[in-house]
Amino acid sequence: MAATSMGTRRPHRDVRQWLTAAAFLAPAMIGFAVFYFRPTVLGFYNSFTDKELLRPESDWVGLENYREMISDDVFWNALWVTGYYVLVNIGVQTICAIGIAWVLDRLSGSRVMRTLVMTPYLMSNVVVALLFLWILDFRLGVMNAFLDTIGLNPQPWLSSKEWAIPSIALINVWRHMGYTALLLFAGLQTIPKDVKEAALIDGCGEIQRFIRVTLPLLRPVLAVVLVITIIGSFQIFDTVDVTTEGGPVNASRVIYLYIFDQAFARRNFGYASAMSVALFLILAVVTIVQMRLLRANESDLA
């Protein structure tokens, strides 16, 4: 496209401009080639080899890694655990975020409130994980002390099989719900005021109006936000690594953690690569299915 418009120009001027462009692009494109493009190609390639950490040579093994993956119970467990995490995390987070977006909308986007709900998201996963490691501590944590005062049984939140994943999921709901709400709020701003007010004249209550009129109009934004948050949610690592390290046994061994274990603790780089290819494909499928299901490209306003 650019080439045709340049056809009428004198060639040496074009070449000079290309050289200028190359100079502008060079640093960033070197970074792209070395740290994005090369490892992507190599990641696929390694998944067909018996590559090991600390061993320079490797052999082509075809689909061996993929065969091993299909019969690996820990891999399927990791997928299951990750899926469970995503379900709890995204389910609760989306509902909370919609509620917060409504609050922000009613406050006409008060800057103080927007900054406040964004704050947890700006804290590192490690800091957030440590805050909740303390709050959820079995013996000394304030959560169990609180449950005790209202007459409920204390739970070993992060050290029990049943609660490990829901606890981690809710920790990350705390970190991400405000941020997700801000994304939704940005979408709310694009809905014309007269559409909302038309519903008011029709006699809807305020909450009803939000659920029946505003939310359906928000669907395209919601679809995009869901795709972003679900993809992020699948890649849970930091919080698990800091709080449970995958335990008890494999109860919270999410897929990222298992890939990491295989690559660095057991040095099976080829096998770890095959699993990251699988994760990549899963995320691609999730994205496509979701965009289809939520018909993201159609807006009811159009």
Nearer to another protein, 80 or 134 (CB): 134
CB 59 within 8 A of CB 50: yes
62: phi > 0 → left, psi -120 to 50 → alpha, else beta; which? left
Specify the amino acid at residue 190.
T
| 3-class SS letters over 28-72 | HHHHHHHHHHHHHHHHHHHCCECCECCECCCCECCCHHHHHHHCC
DSSP state, residue 123? S
Q: Does residue number 297 form part of the binding site for another protein (CB under 8 A)?
A: no
Specify the amino acid at residue 168.
I
Q: From the CB of 113, what's the least distance to another protein, in Å?
A: 8
The owner of tokens 């989306």 is: 94
Could you tell me which of 40, 72, 45, 71 has the C-alpha nearest to residue 59? 45
Nearer to another protein, 72 or 261 (CB): 261
Restricted to residues 186-205, the positions that interact with another protein (CB under 8 A) are: 186, 197, 200-201, 203, 205
One residue of 66, 84, 163, 237 binding another protein per CB under 8 A: 237
149: phi > 0 → left, psi -120 to 50 → alpha, else beta; which? alpha
Interface with another protein by CB under 8 A: which range of 63-71, 80-88, 95-103, 289-297? 95-103
Restricted to residues 266-285, the positions that interact with another protein (CB under 8 A) are: 269, 272-273, 276-277, 279-280, 283-284
Nearer to another protein, 40 or 216 (CB): 40
Size of the site for another protein (CB under 8 A): 106
Restricted to residues 148-187, the positions that interact with another protein (CB under 8 A) are: 149, 174, 178-179, 182-183, 186
Q: From the CB of 132, what's the least distance to another protein, in Å?
A: 7
Q: From the CB of 131, what's the least distance to another protein, in Å?
A: 5
